[in-house]
Amino acid sequence: MAEIKYPLTPEERHQKDLEVLEKLRPLDDTFMRELFRNDLELAQFMLRIILSKPDLILTKEETQYDLQHIYGNRSVTLDVFGIDSEGRQYDCEVQKADDGADPKRARYHSAAMDVDNLEARGKFKDLPDTYVIFFTENDVFGKNKPIHTIERIDLTTGDSFNDGEHIIYVNGAYNNENDTSDLAKLIHDFRCSKGEDMLLAPFADKTRFFKETQEGVERMCKVMEEMMEERLKDSEYRKAVSIAVNLIKRGKDTAEEIAELTGLSVEEVKEIEASLEDIPA
C-alpha cells in the first residue's frame, strides 16, 4: 500500500506495525503462519485436539506450502501443511471471510493435494488420506457446533465411501461456557490477541514470544513489511488499492462492500482507511 503509507516516516511506519501486531490473533493468517513456522510440535498439538487423536505423530510441518504440480489458472499455497507418521497429509487454513470457506474451495484444496501426490502413472490406491481443515472466524453453518466433519457417503446405504478425503470446519465463533474441552479452549485461544488471555499454554507461550519479546516483535514487524513490499510488486494489487482509496474517499460504501468490489480483504480495506486518516490534509 505504498500509495498510502509512504508519507509516513520509518518511525511512524514501525509504530503502525506495532499497532497491527497488538491486534493480531491466530485467526489472522499472517500471525497463524508465524506461530506455526518451524514449529512441528505446536502443529501436532493443534491437530491432536482437532482430530481427537492424542497419539498422532507429525513428522513434517511447513507453512505457506506451494503445490508445485497444479496446472491451470488457480494456484494453491497452503497456510500450514503437515504429514504424520502414517503418511496422512493435512492442510490447515484460517478463513475470516465466509466466502473463503465455500464448500467448493475445500473441494479444490482436496483435489489440489491429490494432484500433487500422484506421480505420472502412479496408482490411485496409493493416494494418501488428506485432511483439509478450515478454521473459520464465523459460524458458517449456523449450528453453534465447535466442529463439522465432512466425508463422502453412499446415500443409498449410508455407508462411508472410504475415499480417504476428509474436510473439517472448526467454528471460530463457537462459544459455550459449559464446554471445557481442549477443542473449546483451542477455539477460544484462536480468537485471543493476548497470551495472557489464552487457555492453552503452548499457544499462550508462543503468542507472548511474538508480542512481548524484542526478538519476536522484530520478527513479526519484518514479516509484515516483507509481505507488504511483495504485494506492492503486483500491479493488480496496486490497482485494487487505488480503487479502494477512491471508494473510501467517496464515503458511500462499507468496508465489506469495498472488499467485494476490489478483491481485497476487509482487514486490508480497514487498514487502508486507517492509513488515510494518518495522512495530513
pLDDT tens-digit map of 21-36: 999 999 998 899 999 9
Amino acid at 39: D
- Give the pLDDT confidence score for residue 280 in this predicted structure: 45
- Give the pLDDT confidence score for residue 236 in this predicted structure: 78
In which residue are the cell numbers 493435494 written? 113
Non-local (6+) Cβ contacts of 61 within 8 A are: 36, 38, 39, 40, 43, 44, 80, 81, 82
- Give the pLDDT confidence score for residue 72 in this predicted structure: 58
Amino acid at 279: I
pLDDT at 70 > cutoff 60: no
- Give the pLDDT confidence score for residue 9 in this predicted structure: 65
Q: Which of 121-135, 138-152, 218-232 has the lowest mean pLDDT?
A: 218-232
Q: Which of 7-21, 188-202, 247-261 has the lowest mean pLDDT?
A: 7-21
pLDDT at 11 > cutoff 50: yes
Mean residue pLDDT across the chain: 88
Non-local (6+) Cβ contacts of 52 within 8 A are: 183
Q: Report the Cα 204 to chain-centroid distance in Å.
A: 18
User: Could you tell me where the DSSP H helices lie in 52-181?
Assistant: 103-117
Q: Return d(Cα 252, Cα 255) in angstroms, integer.
A: 10
Q: Report the Cα 7 to chain-centroid distance in Å.
A: 30
Q: Return d(Cα 237, Cα 52) in angstroms, integer.
A: 40
Farthest-apart Cα atoms in the chain, separation: 68
Q: DSSP letters of 203-222?
A: HHHHHHHHHHSHHHHHHHHH
pLDDT at 71 > cutoff 60: no
Q: Return d(Cα 208, Cα 213) in angstroms, integer.
A: 7
Q: Return d(Cα 49, Cα 36) in angstroms, integer.
A: 15
Q: Which residues pair with 133 in a beta bridge?
A: 92, 168
